[in-house]
Amino acid sequence: MGNTDNILTKINFLEAESVISLNEAGTRFAKEGEIQKAEENFLKAVELDPLYPQSYHNLGILQASQQRIKEAIKNLEKLIELEPEDPEHYNNLGIVYFLGESFCDSELYFTKALEIDKDNPGALLNLGKLLFNMERTEEAVTLIERFHNIDTSNTEALDVLGMCFLKLNDNERAKSFWEKALEIDPDLHQVKNRLQDLNNSKLY
């Protein structure tokens, strides 16, 4: 009986190793631009072990990068079934829904990520950007400022905060955030242009 247990343990170990190696190979192919080969490896991994979460993550992200939104959503939803307490999965699904222009669903999943981890940086920034695009500017400011307190050097957050305050007619604060962004990265051409337009504006 002991020998049988040892054999089964070895088989399980080899299967786990195969799933890991398939995902590693798929990731390598994806980085090299071999998308079809990458997907084939991820699909083989799913077939080999349908309960291994990383396969669904890799497959969903790959499909999302190709704008295959429905397929990506299906795989990321399966991932959430397997690991329901990981906020990053909800954040990623929110991004995919945003790519598919399903903004209400996008907001729902970013919010779920923050219910699990109220200071999740990705969800704070992504929900903030989404709300800005939905003309809910004051809500956007609250979230992106929370993100900014976590990561003060993120130029994207500084840029969006500048746009938020411009929309709220607070030109001084808009200017301040854009100037901070350019201090960190002087080559942000869009930010330069926004700041120049603000400085040249008769309203400023």
- Does 10 score more than 80 pLDDT? no
The 10s digit of each residue's pLDDT in 163-194 is 999 999 999 999 999 999 999 999 999 999 99
Note the pLDDT of residue 201.
84
Q: How many C-alpha atoms does 76 have within 13 Å on its Cβ side?
A: 24
- Does 19 score more than 70 pLDDT? yes
Note the pLDDT of residue 165.
98
What angle is formed at CA 202 by the lines to CA 199 and CA 204, rounded to 5 degrees?
A: 50
Spatial distance between the Cα atoms of 135 and 74, rounded to a whole number of angstroms: 29
More confident call, 5 vs 22: 22
For residue 106, name the pLDDT band (cuts at 50, 70, 90).
very high
Which tokens hold the place of 148? 């900014």
For residue 151, name the pLDDT band (cuts at 50, 70, 90).
very high
Give the chain's mean pLDDT. 92
Spatial distance between the Cα atoms of 193 and 41, rounded to a whole number of angstroms: 45
Please name each of the domains of the chain with its CATH number.
1-84 (1.25.40.10)
Closest CA to 57 of 98, 93, 16: 93
The 10s digit of each residue's pLDDT in 50-80 is 999 999 999 999 999 999 999 999 999 999 9
Which tokens hold the place of 71? 């397929």
pTM for the structure as a whole? 0.87
Reported as type and span, the H/E element at residue 24 is helix 2-31
Q: What share of the chain is helix, strand, coil (3-state, %, to 5)?
A: 80, 0, 20
Q: Is 18 helix (H, G, I), strand (E, B) or coil?
A: helix
For residue 202, name the pLDDT band (cuts at 50, 70, 90).
low
